[in-house]
Every structure is written in structure tokens, then in C-alpha cells.
Amino acid sequence: MKLSLLAAASYEGRVPDRATWPVPPAGCDPVVANRSFTQNLELARHADDLGFDWVSVSEHHYAPLMLTPNPLVWAGALTQVVRRAKIALLGPILPLNNPVRVAEEVAMLDAMSGGRIVTLFLRGVPYEWGTYGEKIDDARGATQEGIDLILKAWTSPQPFSWDSEHYQYGTVSVWPRPLQNPHPPVFGSGNSDESVVFAAKRRLGLAISFAPPDQIAKAVALYRAEAEKAGWSPTSDHVLYRAIANPGESDSAAEDAAARGPSLFAPYFHGGPQRVLGQIEALRDVGVGVIDMALAGGDHVQAMAVLELLSAEILPKMREMSTHNDDATSR
């Protein structure tokens, strides 16, 4: 199995109304924002040094949870400190972005990183669809058409035009081409049956977040069945799961950490190493091959210590699981 760290670039200062949206910008101290980015770059570098397989980024707006309204800019910075691990864009929100621009920028990142980019294009959440004042009536349709457009932009050897329901372009001719051939790995959302079917038909990976194992099992079963109809067989490396992580040296240490710095979201990976490994095994057994952990709360020193713990106690055991996880998913 593979382990990924979400480089969330969360605002490290106190914000009284952190849970609201939008959060008033008066609560942002630019000095603290700068420190938050600097410390997150250090965290990402350390994850790379410790052997994490991926470092991931996401897109969010008008809030301190993630200071990454443009995850592609953040990924560009990460290419300069993450020298070995893949950099996963999980992901740009297509209804808020120009898909041709996204295709260009991801291809640029792939060339800059030496072919280490992974992508997941998302439709986002409803409260963010009005970020730029545009009305979005069919976010799923715009996302799926945008994915098709990006895939063609990466693989077409000649300029082409695009005229469909959501996007119209007279000329598309992306430079540079992605370094990975034919293009960086692309995941699709697995949070609805329609999205699962779309991902399987397009031969995309499947990304699921914050769901319990029984729900993941149903999504993976549908995904594999639809992939078989489409003439291909995904492996467990095609299935990604993201959740909040609050591991500790022991179960009680994890409980104490959660009490000191409560997260806005309940952690799935929670407890000492043995408990967390059991939670990971449960995901392995329903088909997950890549786990993206978003660290819950704590300061920078605590986050660095969590990475050390994951590297020493969790990552080696995950490597052992990877020797038979595809057999487990076929049981």
C-alpha cells in the first residue's frame, strides 16, 4: 500500500469563526500565513525524506482550513522541496476553473517535477460554487466534460477545437506536453454511483474520502464491475482513500492529542500504531491501495513528530500489506 500526506497549508493562527464560510479576511494575519506556508513546505520535505509515496494538495476558498485557492501554485512550490515522492493534485475544482488552463498548468508541473504528478479533478462543494460569482447549474456535467477535454488536450498531437455543452474553444494546443506518457495518472471521484461509473468507463482511478469501509466496498465493487465491462482491470493502486488522521504513540496519547486540539472533522485513523494499522487493514481488505492522510490539529512540532511515528511504525507495515492487497480485494 502507498501512503500520502495532505500538505494542507492550514492557517496556523487562531481564528474565532474558523467553522463559518466565508471566513472574514480580517482574521488573517499575513505574517502567520507566511509562517504557515513555510512550515508546511518543511513538513512536505520531511515526508519526502521519510519515504512517503505521495504529497497531496487540494483547492479551497475563503477560509483558513487550506490556504490554497490555487493548488497548482502550491504544487509548483512543492516541486522544489519534494524531490522523490509524487505530487498529487487532489484536486482542482473544474467548475471554478478554465479546463484548458488547468491542462496547461498540470502539464507544466509534470515537466517541472520530472513526471511525478497525479491528478484528481473535482466538482467541489456547493457553498464554494459561487466563489467567483458565476452560477453553476450542472457542476457534475461541467466536471466530467472538463476531464474529457483535458485528456484530449494532453494526448492530441494536433490543435483541435471543442464545442460542447459546457465549454467552447476555437483552438486548443497545449504546450508543454506532459512528461508522463500518455499523461499523468488521473483519478475520478467515487462519492456517488454516477461518478464511479464515469471513472471506470474512462479508465480513471477512484478517489473516495471520509466514507466508512462498507460504503467503500460497495463503490469499489461497482467500479470493478464497470471497469470489466469497459475491458480493463483496475488494481488496488487505482483506489485512493482520504481521511483525517490522529495517530499517537498509544491509544491514550492519541486521545490526549485529540482533546488538546480538536479537529473540525472526526479522524478515521485514530489511536496507537496497532489500532491505526487495523484501520488501514480494513481499508486494504475492501480494495484501497493508496491512503491520503490529513493530519488533525496540533502545532508544527507535533505534526513533524506524527510524520516520524508514521514512518517508523506504520509505513513499513503498509509496504508488507502491498504484497497481497490485490489478492485481498478479489476474495
Our count of domains for the chain comes to 2
46 found inside a domain: no
Out of 134, 164, 184, a domain closes at 184
43 found inside a domain: no
Task: Quote the crossing angle between the two packed helices 213-229 and 193-201, to the nearest 10°.
Answer: 40
Q: Are both 137 and 214 inside the same structural domain?
A: no
Residue with cell 469497459: 230
Residue 140 pLDDT > 70: yes
CA distance 277 to 137: 42
Q: Are both 26 and 77 inside the same structural domain?
A: yes
Q: Are both 226 and 267 inside the same structural domain?
A: yes
Tens-place pLDDT, residues 244-287:
999 999 999 988 887 776 565 678 999 999 999 999 999 999 99
Residue % of the chain over a pLDDT of 90: 85
Q: Are both 221 and 296 inside the same structural domain?
A: yes
User: What pLDDT is attached to residue 262?
Assistant: 55
> Please, which pLDDT band fits residue 328 given cuts at 50, 70 and 90?
very low
Tens-place pLDDT, residues 64-73:
999 999 999 9
Residue 40 pLDDT > 80: yes
268 found inside a domain: yes
CA distance 199 to 279: 26
Out of 184, 217, 238, a domain closes at 184
Q: Are both 249 and 147 inside the same structural domain?
A: no
Give the contacts of 304 (CB within 8 A, at least 6 positions apart). 42, 43, 46
Q: Are both 256 and 159 inside the same structural domain?
A: no
User: What pLDDT is attached to residue 265?
Assistant: 67
Residue 194 pLDDT > 60: yes
User: What pLDDT is attached to residue 58?
Assistant: 96
Cell of 116: 511525478
Average pLDDT over residues 18-27: 89
Integer CA distances (angstroms), 308 to 4, 51, 56, 203, 303, in order: 14, 10, 18, 35, 9
CA distance 148 to 181: 17
Residue 299 pLDDT > 70: yes
45 found inside a domain: no
Q: Are both 214 and 94 inside the same structural domain?
A: no
Residue % of the chain over a pLDDT of 70: 95
How many other β-carbons are positioned within 10 Å of the β-carbon of residue 123? 23
Among the ranges given (19-23, 142-146, 199-203), the one the predictor scored with the smallest mean pLDDT? 19-23
Q: Are both 229 and 287 inside the same structural domain?
A: yes
Give the domain extent around 131: 1-38+55-184
> Please, which pLDDT band fits residue 111 given cuts at 50, 70 and 90?
very high
* Confidence (pTM): 0.94
- Please say whether the beta carbons of 55 and 87 come within 8 A: yes
Out of 184, 218, 239, a domain closes at 184
Q: Are both 149 and 243 inside the same structural domain?
A: no
Q: Are both 172 and 203 inside the same structural domain?
A: no
> Please, which pLDDT band fits residue 198 given cuts at 50, 70 and 90?
very high
CATH code of the domain in which 86 resides: 3.20.20.30
211 found inside a domain: yes
Average pLDDT over residues 191-220: 96
Q: Are both 137 and 258 inside the same structural domain?
A: no
Give the contacts of 318 (CB within 8 A, at least 6 positions apart). 1, 2, 3, 280, 291
Residue 206 pLDDT > 80: yes
Q: Are both 247 and 266 inside the same structural domain?
A: yes
How many other β-carbons are positioned within 10 Å of the β-carbon of residue 29? 15
